[in-house]
Amino acid sequence: MEFSVLAVFAHPDDESLSAGGMLASRAAAGARVGVVTATWGADSQRASELADALSVLGAGEPRMLGYGDYRRPTESAPDCSCHTPVLNARRKGIRYRASG
């Protein structure tokens, strides 16, 4: 049975700290694994750190929505807020397809 996992987190590092073992085991079992983080942008230092972590976990390329993290607003995308609903991810190019 082919399956996919999409994990959504607030910040980079959350995927490794809270679900790294599950993501790695699902990837090793043949699942397509994707990770979305709501904060930080693709041009920040955290993006390269996240890419390295996802490579180790077997979770593909990072998707960073770039919403503002109030603790580090200078490295967040302009005019963004953490309070924006995750459903806006669709506007950023994230696609969800239900299996079955």
E strand segments, the chain: 4-9, 32-39, 62-67
Q: What region, left, alpha or beta, does residue 60 occupy, with left being phi > 0 and alpha being psi -120 to 50 degrees?
A: left
Kindly report, residue by residue over 46-93, the tens digit of the pLDDT: 889 999 999 999 998 989 888 876 654 455 455 554 444 444 555 555
Q: CA-CA distance, 80 to 100, in Å (whole number)? A: 35
Question: Which among 7, 66, 53 has a CA at the least distance from the CA of 31?
Answer: 7
| C-alpha–C-alpha distance, residues 60 and 22, integer Å | 14
**30 vs 91: CA distance, rounded Å:** 28
pTM reported for the whole predicted model: 0.68
In this structure, how many other beta carbons lie within 10 angstroms of the beta carbon of residue 100? 4
pLDDT tens, 24-54? 999 999 999 999 998 887 788 888 999 999 9
Domain boundary assignment for the chain: 4-78
